[in-house]
Chains A and B, each alone.
Chain A
């Protein structure tokens, strides 16, 4: 499994390119998410009760965020945050595929498939 005695630091044996890609994607995801959450929070009215998510299906969340509605922005922040690690796995799969590392492409695809199965079994539609 290790492919010999050496470590499996993908960042090293990929010459750093794949690792930089994934690192940049994760950094962008959390930055956008935090910006949306903070912007929504600053613009939110001083309501006393909880602000329950979601405000509606994803297209409605996007429409509300585009109109700069505070709850729309905060919902968008949560969705971006949830999507970030999943996109990271997908990007890694692409990186492994580009290098012809089929074993790890299959691992990435299997992880993504299990996440979809888990979300589906959990009632996400």
Chain B
């Protein structure tokens, strides 16, 4: 294995892990195209490596967030139940759906979510993690079910949908939503990762350096997140949603590098 390539993969993992921990997403939106386009890793192996890295981001970040009491474990557990039901249903129903149409719908949903996050609002949930009341449970459960379904259908994690829903829809502070999402995404990814592992899709020469970097990045990102201004986190999150919308939309239309 080329040592230079190993260090580059480690650096890619470090960046993706930090971003994932800071924003409550697995980083698959960034890692899959990066591995596929920049490192020439075949798509199935890139998706498999990305799933293992989602677990690394989730567990690395959640280990910090849970101990720092930033994570709402009970909320995460209830929403996770809806997510795994959706993920299993999505995987089973995958042959029945036109994936490009689902991708287009997801691109639209991500654009809408980015706009919701950035637009001025008369009132937004406060940031005190010790005093907030959760509202609109059906919305949270419904979005988690859909996010799980999309994960099963397209292999895309639910963080980009669940973080804004918890914050804007359910009244959860943005940092708590990020921490709770980080706790949840690893559980969803574990089942899929095991399937890819059993199938023999994992290339250890890619996974080992990338996941090692992701673990380091996730712990670093989790240490930085509580100090980062919420406005900056929201802007970065919206930027990630726009990137994700472009990636998924181009894939749906078979355009550019993401086809």
Q: Which residues of A contact B (CB under 8 A)?
A: 1-2, 5-12, 16, 18-20, 22-24, 26-27, 29-31, 33-34, 37-38, 40-41, 44, 46-48, 50-54, 71, 74-75, 77-79, 81-86, 88-89, 92, 104, 107-108, 110-111, 114-115, 117-119, 121-125
Contacts and interface: CB of A to CB of B under 8 A. Distances in A.
Nearest to A5: B133
B11 interface: no
User: Interface majority SS on A: helix, strand, loop or mixed?
Assistant: helix
A50 B49 CA distance: 13
A12 B69 contact: yes
A11 B6 contact: no
A10 B72 contact: yes
Interface string B57-95: 011101110110101111101101100110110011000
A35 to B, nearest CB: 9
Contacts of B137: 1
A23 B63 contact: yes
Contact of A52 (B81, B200, B212): B200
Interface in B170-206: 176, 183, 186-187, 189-195, 197-200, 202-206
B202 A30 contact: no
A8 to B, nearest CB: 4
Given A52-B204, A88-B186, A122-B194, 12 more contacts: A8-B134, A31-B215, A37-B211, A41-B1, A51-B204, A51-B205, A54-B198, A54-B200, A78-B202, A78-B211, A84-B55, A85-B189
B208 interface: yes
14 contacts: A6-B131, A8-B74, A19-B67, A33-B211, A41-B208, A50-B205, A53-B202, A81-B55, A86-B187, A88-B186, A89-B187, A115-B190, A123-B195, A125-B198
Contacts of B190: 82-83, 85-86, 115
A34 B211 contact: yes
B72 A8 contact: yes
Contacts of A77: 208, 211
Given A19-B69, A82-B193, A115-B191, A123 B211 contact: no
Nearest to A125: B198
Interface residues of B, number: 66
Interface string B3-14: 000100000000
A104 B200 CA distance: 35
What 4 A-B pairs come out closest when comparing CB atoms?
A122-B195, A23-B67, A10-B73, A11-B69
Interface string B98-137: 0000000000000000000000000000000111111001
Contact of A1 (B60, B78, B132, B198): B78
B186 A111 contact: no
B1 A46 contact: yes
Given A19-B67, A85-B186, A122-B192, A7 B72 contact: yes
Contact of A40 (B91, B92, B202, B204): B204
Contacts of B209: 41
Contacts of B84: 111, 114-115, 118
Nearest to A49: B205
